[in-house]
Amino acid sequence: MATFTLIPGAGGRAWYWHRLVPELRARGHDTIAVDLPAGDDSAGLRAYADTVVEAIAGRTNVILVAQSMGGFTAPLVCERVPVGLMVLLNAMVPIPGETGGDWWGNTGQAQAMADLAAREGHGPFDAGEGFFHDVPPEVTAEAFAQGEPPQSSTPFAEPWPLHTWPDTPTVFLQGRDDRFFPLDFQRRIVRERLGIPVDEMPGGHLVALSRPKELAERLEKYRVERTSL
């Protein structure tokens, strides 16, 4: 049995994982979806990592799954607790000293997103079409009924504090239909910054909401093939 620890992206809501959690538990795994202190202006990246470490609470056989902005937090956790595998899911990949605010311009994300929109004929990016285009309507309605989650600018202003990425075994999984972080963009960034390949699966930026069963199957495959857990 593994302990899947799930780190959300911007907004920090554990709710993002609510369709994936039962899929992983049905496969016999302990599963923790973490709520981050995203609305707290006093909380930076280390506070986010503290929250994840506290949620793990000494459990073993940890597989860490980090969505989007969670890519800034997950490596900090790996420096503090034993992690058998880190799965970066549609994630941001920082380099030492880079702030979350600078990441966008440094990587060319806006141009990559605009180029994809031009190729595929999408209009200007908006949350509905950009993030939820492949999420079931009832799940999208539930998300919008909750309102936009607050996200403090504090963690985006801090330089990423590690001097290098941890030596934790790491895989990168990307939704091939992501309109926010396009697949070709992620392949380039991950190759340049981590030197590992990008695996892909169907789905957009929010694959835990749109394709929870397929995502659980992929995570289980990683567990079997990449760990001894």
Q: Would you say 70 and 8 are in contact if contact means Cβ atoms under 8 Å apart?
A: yes
Catalogue the long-range contacts made by 111-120 (C-beta closer than 8 Å, 24 or more residues apart).
112/181, 112/182, 112/184, 112/185, 113/179, 113/180, 113/181, 113/182, 113/185, 115/182, 116/179, 116/182, 116/185, 117/179, 120/179
Does the structure show a pLDDT above 90 at 79? yes
Q: What is the largest CA-CA distance in the chain?
A: 48
Please give the tally of structural domains in the chain: 1
DSSP string, 101-142: HHHHHHHTHHHHHHHHHHHHT--S--HHHHHHTTS-HHHHHH
What does the pLDDT average to over 161-184? 98
The token duo for 117 is 């929109």
Catalogue the long-range contacts made by 126-129 (C-beta closer than 8 Å, 24 or more residues apart).
129/179
Residue 124 banded pLDDT, cuts 50, 70, 90: confident
Q: What is the pLDDT of residue 224?
A: 97
CATH code of 138's domain: 3.40.50.1820
Q: What is the pLDDT of residue 187?
A: 98
What does the pLDDT average to over 163-184? 98
Q: What is the pLDDT of residue 146?
A: 94
Distance, in Å, from the CA atom of 216 to the CA atom of 223, rounded to the nearest integer, reads 10
Q: What is the pLDDT of residue 125?
A: 87
Q: What is the pLDDT of residue 209?
A: 98
Sheet containing 85-89, strands listed edge to edge, beginning at the edge strand earlier in sequence: 30-33, 3-7, 62-67, 85-89, 170-175, 198-201
Provide the mean pLDDT of the chain: 97
What does the pLDDT average to over 93-98? 98
- Residues of the domain holding 202: 3-226
Q: What is the pLDDT of residue 123?
A: 85
Low-confidence winner among 38-47, 99-108, 118-127 (lowest mean pLDDT): 118-127
